[in-house]
Amino acid sequence: MRVAKSSSFFLPVLMIVSAFVAVVLLFPPIDASEPVLQDEVMAQVTATATATPQAKNDQFQEIKKEIDAKVFMYHHIGPLPDKADDIRKGLTVSEQEFEQQIKYLSEQGYKIMSFAKLDEAILQKQLPQKVVVPTFDDGYDDNYNYALPILNKYGATGTFFIITGKIGKSEYVTQDQVKEIFSKGNEIGSHTVNHPSLDKYRGESLKNELIKSKETLEAITSSPVISFCYPAGKYNQQTIDVVKDAKYKYAVTTKSSLGVIDLENLFEIPRYRISSGRNIEAMLR
């Protein structure tokens, strides 16, 4: 009885549904409506397809004339020698302070990277929103002993500007140390052969400082050297022209940074001078 009751209810419903389906099959929607439907579907598909990369792109900066990148200038990292004068003190950041800075930057979401890595990120249009480029001038062996392990610990990299004529001399990195710094993902940049004031150099002697040092470092790392640092921040237009001719892509000065890099002026990149006691938090605010 129950079966009969329910079928007596469902049978008419089934017939109505079948009739509706038959009508739809016999009289499909007019052709003109199809492209509209397709367009709508395509619009939705496109919206979905572009939504994902857009969301992802929020992690990255738009590559415009000025990019947001803070370039830091360090010299010595590590303990002060016994008879350190004021100049040496001014050029030194202790390993504890350096680690605090790298830790703070990491916690604040900064990506700490070399110019070589910055260059890749710009080309791939995947430059993180917050970037710090730590640079180390002169190639002191304390950079290898103290800065390198701390950078490694935080998955950070930096650019080390080496004076090639000083490699292996007392207080400076050796060739093997340069190789190891490079093998940990850091960049090796040139800081000339003899660290002269380049604004007073011209012709062959200028070329020699820029090209010879580049060739020496490229031989050590088996990789192109694209970054350069003007000794004591001294340069003029002629220096810039020869730096360009020597196929460098980035050159740093000692001018004070405002936190951005002008992509149309990559041969005069300003930097934040980091000396002992500098309050990074206040500096970046």
Residue whose Cβ sits closest to Zn ion: 137
Report CA 124 to chain centroid distance, whole Å: 11
Instruction: Give the angle 71-73-76 at the CA atoms, nearest 5°.
Output: 150
In order of 59, 135, 185, the CA distances from 179 in angstroms are: 32, 17, 10
The whole-angstrom separation of Cα 157 and Cα 117 is 8
Binding site for Zn ion (CB under 5 A): 137-138, 231
Q: Smallest gap, in angstroms, from Cβ of residue 254 to Zn ion?
A: 9
Minimal distance in Å, beta carbon 165 to Zn ion?
12
Asked if 178 contacts 167 with a C-beta cutoff of 8 angstroms, the reply is yes
Beta carbons within 10 angstroms of residue 196's beta carbon? 15
Q: For Zn ion, give the closer residue by CB, 99 or 187.
A: 187
CB 179 within 8 A of CB 151: no
Considering beta carbons, is residue 137 or 209 the nearer one to Zn ion?
Answer: 137
In 3D space, the residue among 129, 73, 126 whose CA is nearest the CA of residue 101 turns out to be: 73
* Residue number, 137 or 142, with CB nearest to Zn ion: 137
Q: Choose between 145 and 194: whose C-beta lies nearer to Zn ion.
A: 194
Least distance (Å) between residue 62 CB and Zn ion: 34
In whole angstroms, the minimum distance from the beta carbon of 140 to Zn ion comes to 10
Which amino acid is present at 240?
A: I
Q: How far is the CB of 65 from Zn ion (least distance, A)?
A: 29
